């Protein structure tokens, strides 16, 4: 069941409160009637029904439990509905999303699944501090960036209501949650990205590395982009993409990339001066792998703007590093230009 964008194991949740009959069919729809968990009801007759597809329950003895999971658990445990929501969230898992079956066939598929499990516990613990409910304004923002409900669930995206920022759990290459990225959605909110806890070293991990199909990376290649949402979007298209989280590939990130043994590396940084500097710096640290630079179609300047077709095309037609440098020279562009005005004119495409 989808619960606030996350995958909820409703049976595991309700097993804490009721006894399901042995061999009961709990695959979906309504669970068989069970003894009502309301301490004030006090009957051993089976009056209580749990909907396993929508988060709703009902007691046919009309003891007062009827409605949402939150409301029912709050009543049973004598806690607030907000606290009840946390109880429920503890039984949610980040959905493995479409394509996970194909991925799990890989030689290390089992290992990776286990890693995803570890990650969940961590992410859930950290996300407890934030609402997992995304308000319309956040959903609109994500949808405009091509991030759909499946991706929200897969990546466990949340919402910081106080700061009005999208919360993105950042996991390391083993799938362990290290910190949270809080992305502003209004242009007036600065800085664009906040990291939590404060002092988190964002370049210590390569965002999205834990969700890669490593077989694809070694047989086809790896795409490097700047932002976490870019990587999420590209992975949603089936592209093996990771993000360096902003400014300059770190030595640690280069080390992680080398350990992935990519057949080729495609740089898909933003089409601006910073993007060119990122390309140059990353190229200087990744000397042992064939490097390519993706070009953007006219009028587009970052991965979030690309359609699936455009992204594939950009990868298929990427320039070799040598050709890219020649192109920069021909256009009279030195990557070290300082003037922001000049930089803005620089075209990667």
**By the criterion CB under 5 A, which residues form the site for Zn ion?**
36, 38, 41, 59, 61, 63
169: Cα separation from own chain's centroid: 7
Cα gap 339→255, rounded to integer Å? 32
Residue closer to Zn ion, measured from CB, 65 or 194: 65
Helix locations, the chain, DSSP H = 10-14, 69-77, 81-89, 100-104, 109-127, 136-144, 149-154, 214-219, 228-236, 251-259, 273-285, 308-316, 321-330, 340-345
Closest distance of CB 125 from Zn ion, Å: 32
Closest distance of CB 67 from Zn ion, Å: 12
Cβ atoms within 10 Å, residue 80: 11
Closest distance of CB 14 from Zn ion, Å: 14
Residue closer to Zn ion, measured from CB, 34 or 239: 34
Closest distance of CB 151 from Zn ion, Å: 39
**φ and ψ of 139, to 5 deg:** -65, -40
Residue closer to Zn ion, measured from CB, 46 or 86: 46
Is residue 307 within 8 A of residue 297, CB to CB? The reply is no
Q: Residue 335: CB partners within 8 Å, gap ≥ 6?
A: 276, 277, 279, 280, 328
Residue closer to Zn ion, measured from CB, 57 or 166: 57
Strands 177-184 and 193-196: antiparallel
Residue closer to Zn ion, measured from CB, 36 or 170: 36
């Amino acid at each position: 069941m989808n619960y606030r964008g996350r995958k909820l194991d409703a049976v595991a949740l309700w097993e804490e409160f009721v006894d399901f009959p042995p061999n009961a069919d709990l695959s979906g729809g309504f669970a068989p009637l069970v003894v009502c968990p309301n301490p004030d009801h006090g009957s051993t007759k089976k009056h209580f029904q749990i909907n396993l597809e929508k988060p709703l329950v009902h007691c046919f003895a009309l003891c007062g439990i009827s409605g949402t999971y939150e409301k029912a658990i709050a009543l049973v445990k004598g806690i607030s509905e907000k606290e009840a929501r946390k109880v429920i969230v503890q039984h949610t898992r980040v959905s493995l999303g479409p394509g996970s079956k194909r991925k799990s066939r890989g030689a290390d598929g089992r290992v990776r699944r286990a890693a995803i499990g570890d990650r969940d516990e961590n992410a859930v613990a950290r996300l407890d501090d934030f609402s997992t409910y995304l308000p319309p304004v956040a959903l609109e923002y994500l949808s405009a960036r091509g991030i759909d409900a499946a991706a929200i669930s897969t990546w466990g995206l949340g919402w910081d209501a106080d700061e009005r920022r999208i919360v993105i759990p950042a996991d390391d290459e083993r799938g362990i949650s290290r910190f949270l990225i809080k992305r502003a959605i209004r242009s007036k909110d600065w800085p664009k990205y906040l990291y939590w806890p404060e002092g988190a070293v964002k370049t210590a991990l390569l965002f999205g590395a834990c969700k890669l199909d490593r077989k694809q990376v070694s047989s086809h290649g790896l795409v490097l982009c700047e932002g976490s949402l870019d990587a999420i979007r590209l992975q949603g298209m089936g592209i093996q993409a990771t993000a360096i989280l902003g400014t300059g590939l770190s030595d640690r990130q280069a080390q992680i990339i080398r350990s992935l043994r990519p057949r080729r590396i495609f740089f898909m940084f933003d089409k601006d001066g910073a993007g060119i500097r990122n390309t140059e710096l990353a190229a200087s640290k990744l000397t042992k792998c064939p490097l390519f630079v993706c070009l953007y179609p006219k009028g587009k300047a970052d991965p979030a703007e690309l359609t699936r077709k455009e992204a594939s095309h950009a990868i298929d037609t990427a320039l070799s590093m040598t050709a890219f440098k020649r192109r920069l020279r021909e256009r009279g562009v030195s990557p070290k230009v300082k003037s922001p005005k000049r930089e803005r004119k620089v075209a990667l495409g």
